[in-house]
Amino acid sequence: MIEIAPSILSANFSRLGEEIKIVERAGASLLHVDVMDGRFVPNITIGLPVVNAISRATRLPIDAHLMIVEPGRYAEQFVQAGAKMVSIHIEADPHAHRTLTAIRAAGAQAGIAVNPATPLSALDEAVKFADYVLVMSVNPGFGGQEFISNSLDKVRRLRKILDERGLRARIEIDGGINSDNVAEVAGAGAEIIVSGSAIFGAPDPAVALRELREATVLWV
């Protein structure tokens, strides 16, 4: 099953609860929350108190994408704050096995994220301890960037590696996805498709979400 995960990074933060309700009613099955620390990426967004508040305000599972240095210091706390999925970047954690294991032990799905210029070979071992791999299709830090087209081939290669190795990790993709490229992204093998500006930047986020989902179904 392919899931569309709206990223609240492009939502209107002054009315976040209402924005979340809109995508919840429109049939989102996940909510992608971008946590940035101004160190791993050149931007600062939201942290634990906001994740905690959102988790109380929605029934949608929260997918927390940690774009922070030393994610091992905070990953479990994001699970305690209500996240059902927590991803960390392979580039940010020399102890990814420990952190992924801790996320699972705390009761959430553990994801390993990879930047556009990081080779898939960097994930060789970590992927065994992950429930999903997050392929970044933009350089993380900001919403509204252009999709890096090499990401399609990267997803295809990852799909093949996972299948050949009999690994059950799902593939998530994040960055620059809109109704023009979502079908190709799904066709390449991504199962969780994050979209921020194409949903919350649209005049009607509910319509935009449905369009994305329909475009995906057309492919599969």
Q: Give the whole-angstrom CA distance, residue 89 versus residue 67.
A: 7
- For residue 31, list its beta bridge partners: 62
- State phi, psi for 176 to the nearest 5 degrees: 75, 20
Interaction of residue 65 with Zn ion, rule CB under 5 A: yes
Site size toward ligand DX5, by CB under 6 A: 22
CA-atom Rg of the chain in angstroms: 16
Closest to Zn ion by CB, 176 vs 218, is: 176
Interaction of residue 213 with ligand DX5, rule CB under 6 A: no
The neighbour count for residue 80, using CB atoms within 10 Å, is 13
Interaction of residue 89 with Zn ion, rule CB under 5 A: no
Contact set for ligand DX5, span 75-114 (CB under 6 A): none
The neighbour count for residue 178, using CB atoms within 10 Å, is 18
Interaction of residue 175 with ligand DX5, rule CB under 6 A: yes
Closest to ligand DX5 by CB, 7 vs 109, is: 7
Among 143, 185, 215, 216, interactor with ligand DX5 by CB under 6 A: 143
Token reading at 171:
């593939």
Which of 93, 131, 174, 180 does the annotation list as catalytic? Answer: 174
The label of the residue with tokens 């020399």 reads: 94
- State phi, psi for 203 to the nearest 5 degrees: -60, -35
Q: Give the whole-angstrom CA distance, residue 19 versus residue 69.
A: 29
- Show the site string, 34-73: x = touches ligand DX5 by CB under 6 A, - = not: x------------------------------x--------
> Site residues (CB under 6 A) for ligand DX5?
7, 9-10, 32, 34, 65, 138, 140-145, 174-177, 194-198
List the catalytic residues: 34, 174
**Contact residues: Zn ion, CB under 5 A:** 34, 65, 174
